Structures are given as C-alpha cells and as structure tokens.
Amino acid sequence: MQKEAMLYEGKGKKLFATSDENVVIAEFKDDLTAFNAEKKGAESGKGALNCQISSLLFELLAENGVESHYIKRLNDIDMLCKKVSIIPIEVVVRNIATGSLTKRLGISEGSVLPFALVEFYYKDDALGDPIINDEHCKILGLVKEQGELEVLKAEARKVNEILRDFFDKRGLKLVDFKLEFGRDKDSKIILADEISPDSCRFWDKQTNQKLDKDRFRQNLGSVKVAYEEVLKRILES
C-alpha cells in the first residue's frame, strides 16, 4: 500500500492517506521535542526505533486483548494503521512519581504510588495541554458520555498491567506513559498513536538510569543508545 496525500504532521509522525479510506500510513520522524515543542532537536534513527518498538508493543497488547489502530509495520519507519478520529484527551498513567506530578503535588521523586494513577490532559498545544477532570471533558464535549471516560480509564489500566509486568521481567521500571485513543469507522474507541520511549518513561531497575525522552529533556545525551536499549530489552525472550 502506497502513501498518498499527507493528512497531518505532528511532533513525532506524519500521517498519509492510502487507497483505502479507512487505512492510513504513519511515518515516524527523527524529530525530538519537549516542553510543548519549546525545545527541539533530532536524532538520526530515532523514528525507526520508535516504529519498531511501537509495533512490537501493539502486537503484545493485541495478544492480550487490547484493540488498537495498528495493522502492521511496513518498513523501518512506516506503520499501517486503521484510520481513527482522535479523541483530544491525553491519558497519562503513572506508577512512580516524577515530572509534573512531583512539581504539582510535592510527592518525592521516585516514590512508588500505591496504585496506578490515571490522569487526563486536554490535547491542545495552544493551551499547553492542561490537566483536566471528568467534568471538564464533558463540558468541552471531548466525549459523548461518562461511560466513554470509564472506557479510557479501564483500557489505560489494562495496558499498564500488561506493559508493567512485561518490562519488569526485562529489568525496566515502567514509570509512566501517555496514551491516545480514537474512534474507528464504527465509532468504537480503540488505542491509537504510539507507545515508545517518546511517550513512556523507562528506568533501569538496578541503576534507575533513564532510557527515554528525558535524556533529551534533561540534556543527558545518548538518546538513540537509550532507545536501542529499550528495543533490546523488548526483544529478549
């Protein structure tokens, strides 16, 4: 299947139409952004790593009953996906306190949370992706009913259980991660976007070394090496 007109370009991917109106191609970019795109950079090969990592994780989730937009990986940087209408809510799941959570609530960095915390953020760059609650979601018309928010929470927790266990067995802590969901052609809510070190925080279980986009955010260097290590762990039997 070939790329046709570009439908959208985001921070980490481009989306292209195909000959099938219900199928798109996601092209993963080497670009790096942080702090709502105030900091920008690029890392050669990062797009290919994220494409492979996301593909493997979507396949893992599918094996465990989580439906997503993923169809198959076409090549190093292109992924074939079902076309969805993205729900403009970023669903963040946190297992360990870090980042904005520690700044907002004063929880000590690295504290293991007593349960997986699910948060919603309004996907709007102009507003800085503010944190929102269920009532905000309904006032803004982001969902049709409360039941859809419960679907987002339940699916996010299910993804967390699967991935946290998977990475724990491979020597990585799944600190937190961001998910996006969309409605398919039948209006069913399914997982979308990507699951990669761009959207997840991974710490080595033994050293707490950061193996994700925080290496770019915090000027730690070796971004590609960190992403390669995550891929290596995923591929471990």
In a domain, 228, yes or no: no
What is the H or E stretch that residue 227 is in?
A: helix 223-235
Who's near 44: CB < 8 A, 6+ residues apart?
30, 224
Token pair, residue 9, equals 């370009």
> Is 154 found in the same domain as 91?
yes
Average pLDDT, the chain: 96
d(CA 161, CA 87): 22
What CATH number did the domain enclosing 180 receive? 3.30.470.20
Question: Helix, strand or coil for residue 65?
Answer: coil
> Is 102 found in the same domain as 191?
yes
Closest alpha carbon to 46 in 180, 216, 178: 216
Q: What is the pLDDT of residues 176-193, one digit of tens each?
A: 999 999 999 999 999 999
Closest alpha carbon to 67 in 188, 197, 231, 161: 188
Per the structure, the count of domains in the chain is: 2
Q: What is the pLDDT of residues 60-69, one digit of tens each?
A: 999 999 999 9
pLDDT over threshold 90, residue 74: yes
The type of residue at 128 is G
In a domain, 17, yes or no: yes
> Is 124 found in the same domain as 70?
no
In contact, 205 and 212? CB cutoff 8 Å: no
Final residue belonging to a domain, choices 82, 111, 129: 82
Report the pLDDT value the prediction gives residue 35, as an integer from 0 to 100: 81
> Is 174 found in the same domain as 126?
yes
What is the signed CA dihedral for 172, 213, 122, 27, rounded to 10 degrees?
-100
Report the pLDDT value the prediction gives residue 50, as an integer from 0 to 100: 97
Report the pLDDT value the prediction gives residue 34, as an integer from 0 to 100: 83
Report the pLDDT value the prediction gives residue 116, as an integer from 0 to 100: 98
Final residue belonging to a domain, choices 40, 67, 82: 82
Q: What is the pLDDT of residues 147-159, one digit of tens each?
A: 999 999 999 999 9
Q: What is the pLDDT of residues 91-144, one digit of tens each?
A: 999 999 999 999 999 999 999 999 999 999 999 999 999 999 999 999 999 999
Report the pLDDT value the prediction gives residue 33, as an integer from 0 to 100: 87
> Is 192 found in the same domain as 129?
yes
Q: What is the pLDDT of residues 23-57, one digit of tens each?
A: 999 999 998 888 877 788 888 999 999 999 999 99
What CATH number did the domain enclosing 31 receive? 3.30.200.20
Domain range for 110: 85-221
In a domain, 161, yes or no: yes
In a domain, 227, yes or no: no
> Is 207 found in the same domain as 113?
yes
Strand locations in the chain (E): 6-9, 13-17, 23-28, 31-34, 39-42, 70-73, 78-82, 85-86, 89-96, 112-122, 131-132, 172-183, 189-192, 200-204
pLDDT over threshold 90, residue 168: yes
Task: Band the pLDDT of 1: cuts 50, 70, 90.
Answer: confident
> Is 205 found in the same domain as 140?
yes
pLDDT over threshold 90, residue 237: no
